[in-house]
Structure 1
Amino acid sequence: MTTTWFITGTSSGFGRLLTEHLLARGDRVAATLRRPEALDDLRAEHGDRLWTARLDVTDTERVRRVVDEAFEALGTIDVVVNNASYGLLASVEEASDEQIGRVIDTNLLGSIQVIRAALPHLRAQARGRILQVSTAGGQTTYPSLGYYHASKWGIEGFCETVAREIAPFGLALTIIEPGAAPTSFGTSLDIAPPLPEYENTPAADTRQAFLGGRFPVPNSAEKLTEAMIDLVDSGATSLRLPLGPDTYEDVRAALTGRLAEHEAHRDVAHSVAAGSRPRRDAR
């Protein structure tokens, strides 16, 4: 059975790999990217099963127009994949206002607007699903990636809400959390000029790991891509799909640590409830 996909950010990385794999197996793809000519080779090979459009997801009006045009051209879209992303390597003080705006506009607001544009069409179909590509960094953190985390934690919270809101319409949303893989992400990071004050700190350690090629990359980009496709094929509708041992272990450690800290505050949390007995300092 042929499945029709709408994918953002298809010029490289997971977006490009997804497009290649899906076309190779006979699916249809509406691929959006800032430079459509980057997919000329795939268009020549797969013809009208590949529909392309120029799109920068930070342009909200363009997002709405392109999503509408894709549904009109293809009739039905089964899967919407929010993949376009912008990575910023900078401590909190090092980033410029422009860099901060771009990471939030792309990863958070851009993804939100794609979902908002697609939902009326998906509801009208009474079927379909959304895959939001996030990262382990949507639930855990690394120094020098604070603004990236802000965008990914934000979109995960938004998507949790969306998933609950759209379930009554027969629609599903899954947050994909791929671990580090040899895609273009590491080499395409925007890197802010370092401040000398942050030398010999965890922020500098993360920066040097990326720049020196020492940041662990334990996953196969091909296998990650196949796992995303397998999820859709299986019909599973889990809220999250962690992919990679790094994602699994890092997120598990983060969740375990947060739960332990949460439990440590149980008494004080309950102490402020109306009607509870006031706590008194020990004398």
Structure 2
Amino acid sequence: MTKTWLITGISSGFGLAMTKQLLAAGNTVIGTVRNTKKIADLQKQYPKTLDSQVLDVTDVAAVHDVIQSAFQRHGKIDVLVNNAGYGLFGAAEELNDDQVAQIIATNLTGPIQVIRTALPFLRAQKSGHIIQISSYGGQVAYPGNSMYHATKFGIEGFVESVAQEVQAFGIGMTIVEPGGARTEFRYGSAHVANLMPEYDGPTHSFLKMLDPANGLAPGDPEKMASRIIESVDQPDTPLHLVLGSQALQATIQRLEERVATYKTETEIARSTDYLD
């Protein structure tokens, strides 16, 4: 059965891959971009089922307007995909104030406002699914990625809480945590700070990752897009959906390390309780 999807950031990466697959299967996609020229050919190919809208998710007023008008035009939206975002690389000290504010507005505040704006409509229709594109970097942190991790850890906490709030209204939520994929996120749109020689070494190891000459990421964006789309119709889709074998291995390893450390803190944790 075809559905109506609203996807932010469809000009590249997972957003574009999902949009192409969904339209080819007969679905309707309301897709947001900052520049419609990037999807002009796709719009010509699917004039009736692709509803492209200009949106910068850092503009809160525009988020409210675009999301609300989309529900009003289409009557019902089955799936909302929060996909817009980018990577910012550099040590915390190397980042400037504008870079910090911009990535928070794009990767954290923007998606929060998209979800908040959509919830009254999804609650009224008593159905719907929200997919938040995160990263395994929402569970595993590396040096040189502090602000990116801050936004991903943050949006995952937000979604975990909201998922519990809206479950009773028939609204499902999924946090997608992809590993490295061959998209513009890594090989085109990544932002790099003004690097300082003091941090040369492990903190700047991301420079090798961003250079295709050092080998391409293992993740296939087309396959990842397919798994995301398929997850909507699966009754047992987990709240956290990790895509990529390396991402899953790294996530499990980090979580096991974290749990093992917490278990060593039993006595000190208990020592701060009232002894009533």
Where structure 1 has 5 or more consecutive residues not aligned to the other structure, the ranges are: 277-283
Corresponding position of 1:59: 59
Q: Does 1:189 align with 2:190?
A: yes
Change (3 A) 1:209 1:17: closer
Which residue matches 2:155?
A: 155
Partner of 2:166: 166
The Cα offsets for residues 185-213 of structure 1, whole Å up to 9 and x where unpaired, read as: 1121111121011123x112223332464
CA distance in structure 2 between the aligned counterparts of 1:52 and 1:90, rounded to whole angstroms: 33
Deviation string, structure 1 residues 150-195 (Cα, Å, up to 9, x no partner): 0000000000000000001111110001111100011211111210
- Structure 2 distance, partners of 1:213, 1:83, is 27
Q: Matches of 1:269 and 1:214 in 2, distance apart?
A: 45
What is the TM-score of this pair, normalised by structure 2? 0.96
1:2-58 deviation per Cα after TM superposition (whole angstroms, max 9, x unaligned): 100000011100001110000000000000010122221111111211101100000
Matched, 1:253 2:253: yes
Q: Residue 75 of structure 1: CA displacement?
A: 1.2
CA distance in 2, matches of 1:117, 1:160: 17
Following the alignment from structure 1 to structure 2, what is the Cα–Cα distance between the partners of residues 217 and 68?
37
Q: 1:215 to 1:256 in 2, by over 3 A?
A: farther
Partner residue, 1:219: 219
Asked if 2 retains the 8 angstrom alpha-carbon contact of 1:144 and 1:207, the reply is: no
Q: Find the structure with the greater CA-based Rg.
A: 1
* Partners of 2:174 and 2:215 in 1: CA distance: 27
2:23 aligned partner, one-letter code? L
Match of 1:228 in 2: 228
| CA distance in 2: counterparts of 1:203 and 1:166, whole angstroms | 40
Q: Residue by residue, what CA displacement relative to the aligned partner does 1:233-281 show, whole Å, maximum 9, x if unpaired?
A: 32444211111112101110110110011001111111111107xxxxx
Counterpart of 1:70, as a letter, is A
Inter-partner Cα distance in structure 2 for 1:121 and 1:90: 39
Check 1:50–1:236 CA distance in 2 against 1; reply closer, same or farther (3 A cut).
farther
Q: Structure 1's 114 and 213: CA in aligned 2 closer, same or farther, altered over 3 A?
A: farther
Distance in 2 separating the partners of 1:158 and 1:114: 12
The 1:215/1:268 distance shift into structure 2, 3 A limit, reads: farther
The percent of aligned pairs where both chains have the same amino acid is 43
Counterpart Cα distance in 1 of 2:221 and 2:131: 17
Give the letter for the 1:73 counterpart: R
Tell me the secondary structure at the aligned position of residue 233 of structure 2: helix
SS in 1 for 2:31: strand
Amino acid at match of 2:219: N
Q: Distance in 1 between matches of 2:181 and 2:63?
A: 28
Q: Which residue matches 2:7?
A: 7
Matched AA of 1:274:
Y
**Alignment partner of 1:103 is 2:78:** no
Q: Could you say if the C-alpha distance between residues 30 and 24 of structure 1 is closer, same or farther in structure 2, counting changes exceeding 3 Å? A: same
SS in 2 for 1:176: strand
Answer with 204-213 or 49-58: which moved more: 204-213
Alignment partners' CA distance in 2, 1:152 and 1:95: 17
Q: What is the rounded CA distance, in whole Å, between the counterparts of 2:249 and 2:50 in structure 1?
A: 37
RMSD: 1.3
TM-score norm. by structure 1 comes to 0.94
Go from structure 1 to structure 2 and tell me whether the alpha carbon gap of 1:213 and 1:272 turns closer, same or farther (over 3 Å shift): farther
User: Where do 5+ consecutive residues of structure 2 fail to align?
Assistant: none
The Cα of 1:214 is off from its aligned counterpart by 3.1
Contact 2:10–2:31 (8 Å) recurs in 1? yes
Local SS of the residue matching 1:18: helix
Please show how residues 13-24 of structure 1 align to structure 2 within 5 Å: 13-24=13-24
